[in-house]
């Protein structure tokens, strides 16, 4: 199988998992009042949009980065930065109003799945992105790495909520997730500048 075909297969796997993350995280976040789950689901929406853009890029320009690839990468990076104030302001309002998020077994299951799946997807995207010099795929790999690290924070927060009743752990997990999202956005901008 060629490198581009392999990249497309990895994007399919990643996209299917992102759909699970989006639906499960946002649904469970609404039910439990967990901003950590909502932030994780929001990041997954951006990753899903990025995957669609990478599909388009890989099918249209298999030789590597192009002007269209740069525009695609910039659009997904801007979406990441837009997520930070949207979730951040909601979290601050929720905390100030005294809302106490509840535990979520669905959220725990999604976080465990992400911890298991995302490192494999991240490493494969990064490897193929470097080999093919495909900027959108390389940036998408950064997003997959962020998904892995945010899933660790999410899992820790959800377990603390569910088993120990530490409702404030959701706010800590949300802050960590948003910090990783900001880091991901900055990393994507660096990739854009160095290409």
Mean pLDDT of the chain: 86
Q: Which two tokens stand for residue 108?
A: 């725990």
pLDDT on residue 132:
85
State the residue for tokens 């077994």. Answer: 105
Mean pLDDT of the region 16-25: 96
Mean pLDDT of the region 116-144: 88
Residue 62 in this model has a pLDDT that exceeds 70: no
78 vs 117, more confident: 117
Q: How far is CA 115 from the centre of its chain?
A: 12
pLDDT on residue 64:
47
User: Domain range spanning residue 124?
Assistant: 3-194
pLDDT on residue 98:
83
pLDDT on residue 139:
79
CB–CB of 32/103 below 8 Å? yes
pLDDT on residue 23:
97
pLDDT on residue 68:
67
Residue 192 in this model has a pLDDT that exceeds 70: yes
Mean pLDDT of the region 164-179: 90
Contacts of 86 (CB under 8 A, 6+ apart): 42
Contacts of 109 (CB under 8 A, 6+ apart): 24
pLDDT on residue 103:
82
pLDDT on residue 65:
47
Residue 66 in this model has a pLDDT that exceeds 60: no
Q: Which one of 84-93, 111-120, 160-169, 186-195 scores highest in mean pLDDT?
A: 111-120
Instruction: Find the angle CA(191)-CA(63)-CA(125) to the nearest 5 degrees.
Output: 50
CATH of the domain at 160: 1.20.1510.10
Percent of the chain with pLDDT strictly greater than 70: 94
Read off the pLDDT band of 142 (50, 70, 90): confident
Number of domains in the chain: 1
Name which of 20-29, 63-72, 160-169 the model is least confident about. 63-72
């Amino acid at each position: 199988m060629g490198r581009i075909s392999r990249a497309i297969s990895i994007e399919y796997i990643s996209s299917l998992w992102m759909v699970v993350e989006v639906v499960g995280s946002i649904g469970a976040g609404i039910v439990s009042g967990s901003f950590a789950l909502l932030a994780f689901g929001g990041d997954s929406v951006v990753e899903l949009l990025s995957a669609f853009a990478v599909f388009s890029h890989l099918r249209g320009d298999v030789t590597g980065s192009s002007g269209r690839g740069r525009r695609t990468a910039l659009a997904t990076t801007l979406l990441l930065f837009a997520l930070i104030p949207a979730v951040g302001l909601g979290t601050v309002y929720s905390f100030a109003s005294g809302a106490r998020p509840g535990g979520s077994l669905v959220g725990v299951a999604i976080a465990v799945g992400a911890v298991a799946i995302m490192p494999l997807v991240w490493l494969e995207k990064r490897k193929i992105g470097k080999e093919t010099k495909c900027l959108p795929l390389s940036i998408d790999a950064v997003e997959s790495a962020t998904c892995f690290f945010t899933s660790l924070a999410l899992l820790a927060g959800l377990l603390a909520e569910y088993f120990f009743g530490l409702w404030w752990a959701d706010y800590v997990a949300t802050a960590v997730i948003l910090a990783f999202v900001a880091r991901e956005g900055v990393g994507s901008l660096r990739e854009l500048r160095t290409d």
